[in-house]
Structure 1
Amino acid sequence: MKYAFSTLGLPGTPLDRAAALAAHHGFHGLELRAHPEEPLHTATPAAERAAALRTLAASGIAVLAVAGYARVAAPGPDEPVLAELRALVRLAADLAAPYVRAFPGGGDPPGPDDDTRAVRRLLAAAPFAERHGVRILLETHDSHRTGAAVARVLGGVGHPGAGALWDVLHTWLGGEPPDASYRALAAHLGYVQVKDVRSARDLTPVALGTGVLPLAEAVAAVPRDGWLCWEYEKRWYPAAELPGLLAGGRAYLHGLAADRPRGPRGHGQA
């Protein structure tokens, strides 16, 4: 199993520093938050993208995904959403990243029109992503927080350029057990985003294994050759600090992966 962490935990940190932290603590990759507040985003010039790729290669760190903010189920015209998805795909391709993260962003509760918009936009964007060697992953989040809801959309898309990102927090908040989330998402799964929080009412990030999320059950459900990405949301909780937790977090994930039962979902080493 391979491990990454999100730069949401290191807001505004230069890429060389984030990559050095990842390498030092035994992580294999980074999920890059693509926002104008960050070093890399869709307006970053080509020369800076190339320099970033060289920095990452020198550190031995891969970009697992470009974490964008396109909302594929949101009301409104399609073209701005599609333009945002295309820009994120180009950024991911320039950074040799296999995935782009997208949010649902539909209504609360979601209605049939939300699914229809999401399917239509992903169907339009998925071939473009595939041509660039990238897959757009719809995260279990906001209006479609369960695996069942995301799988419902992706079943309507049916294209290899679109898939799922399983955020364990949101499926848990949606009342969906990890094994049910995995069953719903297995045919679409790109990678799994893990985190830990104090409670359902207090989502302040805490060290992995010290909160309430069913992380052992989630890790046990996913393939042995997959990626686990730790999303520590410092950007939204300024008092939180990630660097001092990285060693323990990496060890915790490795322990969960090593302890999981061997079975039909894969064999091999974590």
Structure 2
Amino acid sequence: MRYAFSTLGVPGLPVPEVVRLAVAHGYQGVELRAHPEEPVHPGIGARQRADVAAEFAAGGVRVLTVAGYARVADPDDTERLDALVALAYDLGASYVRVFPGGRGDPRDDGVAVRRLRSVAALAADRGVRVLLETHDSHRTGAAVARVLDRVGAPSVGALWDVMHTWLGGESPAESYAALAPHLGYVQVKDIASAEDTTPLPLGAGVLPLADALAPLDPDGWLCWEYEKRWYPDAAELPGLLTAGRERLAALLAETGSPTPPPNPQPRPPGSVPFSRSGP
């Protein structure tokens, strides 16, 4: 299993510091929050994109995902999916994250299906996979799978946020069964309760992480999404990163899943970056 963390846990941190944290704490990848208040978002130019890609490549760290804020089930959402795919391609990222963001209308599924289909061919051409996260209006695996079954495109898949499926009343086994045909990777986190979702160190809360990890592909990715951006009083993420990775490794060892070696030595400037295709 390979590990990543989300920059939602270190809001506004410059890219060189993000890379340094990943290398120092043994993470092979990073999920980049693609919002205008962050250093990396669809509005940055070609030179900036090349610099970001080179920074990650030099550190031997994968840009796993461009975590966008498109709400594909909201008919009024205007964020361009093609712009997110283009940014992911330029950074060498494998995935784009999008939200459902529906409003409870029975037609939400149809809106999401149309928008995801509209970008499926471009994503396939660029070697990028667009992942619909279990979140908000479609927080369960069953709800997301219902949309993706209709989309019917390999370049569009699912991102399993274990907190949201648990809050939606699904067991990890139920979520995995629904999402497995579409699954890109898994976001892990921990919280005190359904009423208190303040982020906690992994293993310090109530989420059934061991059950969620048990059926996963040992060659896949786990991303720790620590939502510091929304909970400013939460502990700082950098001091938790090593212990969090070790906690995941311990849980995976209990399930018999192998773990990767530490990060390789930093790549020299100008070396070939990771492939854009594949997980």
- Normalised by the shorter chain, which TM-score bucket? over 0.9
Q: Is 1:148 aligned to 2:142, yes or no? A: yes
Match of 1:207, SS state, is coil
User: 1:242 offset after TM fit, Å?
Assistant: 0.2
Q: Which residue of 2 aligns with 1:139?
A: 133
User: 1:148 offset after TM fit, Å?
Assistant: 0.3
User: 1:42 offset after TM fit, Å?
Assistant: 0.3
Superposed CA offset, 1:144-185 (max 9, x none): 000000000000000011000000000000000001100100
Q: Select the residue among 171, 187, 192 that pairs with 1:177.
A: 171
* Contact 2:252/2:258 (<8 A) preserved: no
Match of 1:190, SS state, is strand
Q: Select the residue among 236, 245, 249 that pairs with 2:244.
A: 249
Q: Is 1:213 aligned to 2:207, yes or no? A: yes
Q: Distance in 2 between matches of 1:57 and 1:196?
A: 30
Q: Is 1:102 aligned to 2:93, yes or no? A: no
Q: Is 1:236 aligned to 2:230, yes or no? A: yes
- Structure 1 residues 236, 269: closer, same or farther in 2, change over 3 A? closer
Q: Which residue of 2 aligns with 1:62?
A: 62
User: 1:246 offset after TM fit, Å?
Assistant: 0.5
Match of 2:214, SS state, is helix
User: 1:221 offset after TM fit, Å?
Assistant: 2.1
Q: Following superposition of structure 1 onto structure 2, how do residues 48-59 of structure 1 map, counting pairs within 5 Å? A: 48-59=48-59
Q: Distance in 1 between matches of 2:11 and 2:76?
A: 30
Q: Distance in 2 between matches of 1:124 and 1:257?
A: 37
Q: Distance in 1 between matches of 2:206 and 2:64?
A: 26
Superposed CA offset, 1:58-100 (max 9, x none): 11100110000000000337xx34xx11110000000100100
Q: Distance in 2 between matches of 1:35 and 1:178?
A: 30
Relative to the length of structure 2, the TM-score reads 0.91
Q: Given residue 57 of structure 2, which amino acid in structure 1 is its aligned partner?
A: A
Match of 1:87, SS state, is helix
User: 1:112 offset after TM fit, Å?
Assistant: 2.6
Q: Given residue 250 of structure 1, which amino acid in structure 2 is its aligned partner?
A: R
Q: Given residue 25 of structure 1, which amino acid in structure 2 is its aligned partner?
A: H
Q: Which residue of 2 aligns with 1:8?
A: 8
In the TM superposition, structure 1's runs of 4+ consecutive aligned residues that sit over 6 Å from their partners are none
Unaligned 5+ runs, structure 1: 262-266
Q: Which residue of 2 aligns with 1:264?
A: none
* Contact 1:178/1:221 (<8 A) preserved: no
Q: Given residue 106 of structure 2, which amino acid in structure 1 is its aligned partner?
A: P
Superposed CA offset, 1:114-153 (max 9, x none): 0000011111111111111101100000000000000000
Q: Distance in 1 between matches of 2:105 and 2:221?
A: 32
Q: Distance in 2 between matches of 1:245 and 1:269?
A: 19
Identity of aligned residues (%): 63
User: 1:216 offset after TM fit, Å?
Assistant: 0.6
User: 1:111 offset after TM fit, Å?
Assistant: 3.5
- Total equivalences in the alignment: 259
Q: Following superposition of structure 1 onto structure 2, how do residues 31-42 of structure 1 map, counting pairs within 5 Å? A: 31-42=31-42
- Structure 1 residues 205, 268: closer, same or farther in 2, change over 3 A? closer
Q: Distance in 2 between matches of 1:14 and 1:4?
A: 17
Match of 1:183, SS state, is helix
Q: Which residue of 2 aligns with 1:187?
A: 181
User: 1:269 offset after TM fit, Å?
Assistant: 4.5
Q: Is 1:128 aligned to 2:122, yes or no? A: yes
Q: Distance in 1 between matches of 2:99 and 2:259?
A: 32
* Contact 1:147/1:166 (<8 A) preserved: yes
Q: Given residue 254 of structure 1, which amino acid in structure 2 is its aligned partner?
A: A
Q: Distance in 2 between matches of 1:165 and 1:13?
A: 24
Q: Distance in 1 between matches of 2:233 and 2:147?
A: 36
Q: Distance in 2 between matches of 1:214 and 1:99?
A: 25
User: 1:268 offset after TM fit, Å?
Assistant: 4.9
Q: Given residue 48 of structure 2, which amino acid in structure 1 is its aligned partner?
A: E
Alignment root-mean-square deviation, CA: 1.1
